[in-house]
Amino acid sequence: MATLELVGLRKTFGDIAVLHGIDLTLAEGEMLVIVGASGCGKSTLLRLVAGLEVPSGGRILLDGTDITGRDPAERDMAMVFQSYALYPHMSVFQNMAYGLRIRGIAREEIRRRVDQAAELLGLESLLQRKPRQLSGGQRQRVAMGRAVVRHPKLFLFDEPLSALDAKLRVAMRAQIRHLQRRLGVTSLYVTHDQVEAMTLGDRLLVLHQGRPAQLATPMQVFEHPADTYVAGFIGAPAMNFLPASLVGGGWAAQLAAGPVIPFWDGRRGGPDGRALIIGIRPEHLIVGGEGLKLAVDLLEPLGSETLLHGRLMDAPDQELVVKLSGGPPAGANVTASVPARHVHVFDADSGQRIEPLGAHDADAPLAAVQSVD
Same domain, 138 and 271: no
Positive or negative, the CA dihedral 3, 32, 38, 17 is negative
Q: Is the pLDDT of residue 146 over 60?
A: yes
| 354 within some domain | no
Same domain, 175 and 224: yes
pLDDT at 94: 95
Ranking 5-9, 143-147, 205-209, 334-338 by mean pLDDT, the lowest is 334-338
| 126 within some domain | yes
Q: Is the pLDDT of residue 177 over 60?
A: yes
Task: Report the CATH number at residue 332.
Answer: 2.40.50.140
Task: Report the CATH number at residue 110.
Answer: 3.40.50.300
| 355 within some domain | no
C-alpha to C-alpha distance for 4 and 143, rounded to whole angstroms: 23
| 165 within some domain | yes
Mean pLDDT of the chain: 89
The total domain count for the chain is 2
Q: Of 174, 199, 231, which residue constitutes the final position of a domain?
A: 231
| 372 within some domain | no
C-alpha to C-alpha distance for 40 and 299, rounded to whole angstroms: 33
**Number of C-beta neighbours around residue 36 at 10 A:** 28
Are 1 and 63 in contact, with CB atoms under 8 Å apart? no
Instruction: List the strands of the sheet with 31-35, edge to edge.
Output: 77-80, 154-158, 186-191, 31-35, 203-208, 211-216
Mean pLDDT in residue range 113-122:
91
Mean pLDDT in residue range 313-317:
85
Same domain, 71 and 176: yes
Q: Is the pLDDT of residue 17 over 80?
A: yes
**Number of C-beta neighbours around residue 356 at 10 A:** 17
pLDDT at 361: 41
Same domain, 41 and 156: yes
Mean pLDDT in residue range 315-324:
90
Same domain, 226 and 245: no
Same domain, 223 and 294: no
Q: Of 209, 231, 253, which residue constitutes the final position of a domain?
A: 231
Q: Of 179, 202, 231, which residue constitutes the final position of a domain?
A: 231
Same domain, 34 and 177: yes
Q: Quickly state the pLDDT bin for 10 (edges 50, 70, 90).
A: very high
Beta carbons within 8 Å of 162's beta carbon, 6+ residues apart? 82, 191, 192, 193
Mean pLDDT in residue range 336-351:
91
Nearest CA to 265 out of 338, 351, 357 is that of: 357
Q: Is the pLDDT of residue 104 over 70?
A: yes
| 373 within some domain | no
pLDDT at 68: 95
pLDDT at 270: 92
Boundaries of domain holding 335: 238-347
Same domain, 248 and 336: yes
| 41 within some domain | yes
Q: Is the pLDDT of residue 60 over 50?
A: yes
Would the pTM of this model clear 0.85, i.e. be above it?
Answer: yes
| 90 within some domain | yes
